[in-house]
Amino acid sequence: MGKYAFQLRLVLGLMACTVLAFGVPIFSSDFSEAPVPAPVLGMEAGEQFGPWIVGGGAQGVALIDRVREPYWQGPNGSEFSVDLSGVQSGSITATISGLTQGAYYNVNFWLSGNPEGGQAIKTAQVTFGSGVQTVDFDITGNTNANMGWVAQSLLFMADSDTVFLQFADATTDGANGYGSVIGLASVTAAAIPEPATMALMGGALLGLALIRRRRAVR
């Protein structure tokens, strides 16, 4: 292998490392981590499935519904989803570890709303550490067979190496049991390079420029 060919492979390898640092899920869940014996399974405060703990309301009532096909259409090929309002508005919370404090992360998920009743605009609240964002979904024209799923990606900064990720129903009339619905949740590093990664990428680009210059003057 020639010297310049080796240098080119080395530089391209460094650039590949910077690209692979982003987009790899740090956490993912399709909400199938525990059996769903019926198409709809209500869960109360304090109950747990996989990494998720149910919360957000009074004891003794269903705060979320775990739903699987064929009750209604799942998101992006998945059978499973979570209606964040059971009898009352609820929430699910997971602990996300292995983060870098001060780094940015995307919280990705698919969003829909229970089309069987309640107001047309369903609202989900997403909390990541101390950051909070809300997203709306309009169920107008949707049915159980066509949920109109929309992919969402929200940007947050980690204020610690371990944070709580929470999805909660914030629909105004969510207490009636027709809430926002989510599926296929994940957390990925955002494509906003940290200084060390920027330096690595910059060095790779500089290396490419030097190789091209050396070839041009030969």
Does the pLDDT of residue 72 top 50, yes or no?
yes
Q: Tell me: do 135 and 166 sit in the same domain.
A: yes
Indicate the pTM of the whole model: 0.79
Is residue 113 scored above 90 in pLDDT?
A: yes
H-state helical runs in the chain: 3-20, 195-217
**Digit-coded pLDDT (tens) for 30-66:** 999 998 888 999 999 999 999 999 998 777 889 999 9
In sequence order, which residues have a C-beta less than 8 Å from that of residue 218 and are 6 or more positions away? none
125: which strand partners?
134, 168
Do residues 32 and 17 both lie within one domain? Answer: no
Q: Same domain, yes or no, for 154 and 47? A: yes
Residues 12, 112 within the same domain = no
pLDDT at 100: 97
User: 114 with 133, same domain?
Assistant: yes
Same domain membership, residue 141 and residue 76: yes
- Please report which confidence band the pLDDT of residue 13 belongs to, taking 50, 70 and 90 as the band edges: very low
State how many domains the chain has.
Answer: 2
Confidence check: pLDDT of 200 > 70: no
Is pLDDT at 199 greater than 90 in this prediction? no
Report, in angstroms and rounded to the nearest whole number, the Rg of the chain calculated over CA atoms: 22
**CATH number of the domain encompassing residue 131:** 2.60.120.260
d(CA 98, CA 166): 17
Residue 106 and residue 50 share a domain: yes
Rounded mean pLDDT of the chain?
85
Same domain, yes or no: 207 and 187: no
pLDDT grade for 203, boundaries at 50, 70 and 90: low
Residue-range definition of the domain harbouring residue 179: 25-192
Same domain (yes/no): 97, 13: no
Same domain, 166 and 197: no
147 and 214, same domain (yes or no): no
51, 121: one domain: yes
Residue 144 has pLDDT above 70, yes or no: yes
